Amino acid sequence: MATHLSAIRGKEALLQKVVFEVRYHFGYAYLDNCGRCLNMITRDHPEWFIRGNVSPSSAPLLSSKNSACLNFSAAKYDLSIERVAGEGPVSDNDIGAFVDQADYIHDIMSTCLGLAEFARVGFRAWYLFGCDTEADAEDWLKGLACYNISDRLVAAFGRSLESSGVSVVVAGADRKYRIAFHGVQRTAQIDFAEGVLSLQPRYMHSGQREALLERERAKRRMRQNPGFAAMIDIDAYQENAEVIEPGRFVQSSREQFLPMLQKACEREG
């Protein structure tokens, strides 16, 4: 069983982010039972902590086990893990915990919200391939066996191709796949350094502490993320599913799309 992508065109694949999402009909019991859901999650699985503010539109939580994030509302819930590239990619151990989390979270949501009709279930993964420059990322993408931008299109509008992206949806045997290819650049962080304010975190209110933590996270991202990268973003999903088995769906999606993606990107011979 394939658990990761091998190097493609000489660049290592780094699994940056994964998301499992379920969209449902008639989830309005969220407005009455949000607190019940939160109690069941945090009491039965104490790795989870409420993150930020709970509102009529969303309830966010964070796991201390694998830094997974959970958000749920009257329309959907999503479970995700995101890693800064320099801190290491999402690992097989992370995915193992993620699969377990998806199973029990779905059971809790179905019980608390009375879920019976599902509009969509999907598992999405983002793979980064580090590049030195934007042009390097573009050249790497154009070298993939499955990637092609017509010269006729470029000639019709200008002299040269500066950047490109491709997105397709393919219908498989039991699910659909949305596959996207594009280049990405590290976002800039602006430091408004107009003085130094020294305060101990315990004397800050919660919003200030969170702002401080996010600032430190942003600094780490600036130090560790590659300046440029090519990204392959793949989303495996089913619409109007009658029965949802989250762990099995995540695992079977990976088992299916990893070898298919490897084969599609590599040139024969």
Of 56, 84, 86, which is closest to residue 72 (Cα–Cα)?
Answer: 56
Note the pLDDT of residue 158.
85
Q: Residue 116 corresponds to which tokens in the numbers above?
A: 């019976």
Q: Where are the beta strands (DSSP E) in the chain?
A: 14-24, 48-50, 59-63, 69-72, 76-82, 118-131, 165-171, 176-185, 228-239
Does position 213 have pLDDT exceeding 70, yes or no? no
At position 96, the amino acid (one-letter code) is G
Note the pLDDT of residue 194.
37
Does position 190 have pLDDT exceeding 50, yes or no? no
**Better pLDDT: 108 or 223:** 108
Q: Provide the pLDDT confidence category of residue 216 given band limits of 50, 70 and 90.
A: low
* pLDDT digits 0-9 by tens, 124-133: 999 999 998 8
The set of long-range contacts for 162-167, using a CB threshold of 8 Å and a minimum separation of 24, is: 162/138, 163/134, 163/138, 164/138
Note the pLDDT of residue 207.
52
Q: Provide the pLDDT confidence category of residue 45 given band limits of 50, 70 and 90.
A: very high
Note the pLDDT of residue 2.
61
* pLDDT digits 0-9 by tens, 150-180: 889 989 998 888 888 999 999 999 999 999 9
Note the pLDDT of residue 161.
82
Q: How far apart are CA 18 and CA 234, in angstroms?
A: 10
Task: Round the average pLDDT of the chain to a whole number and report it.
Answer: 86
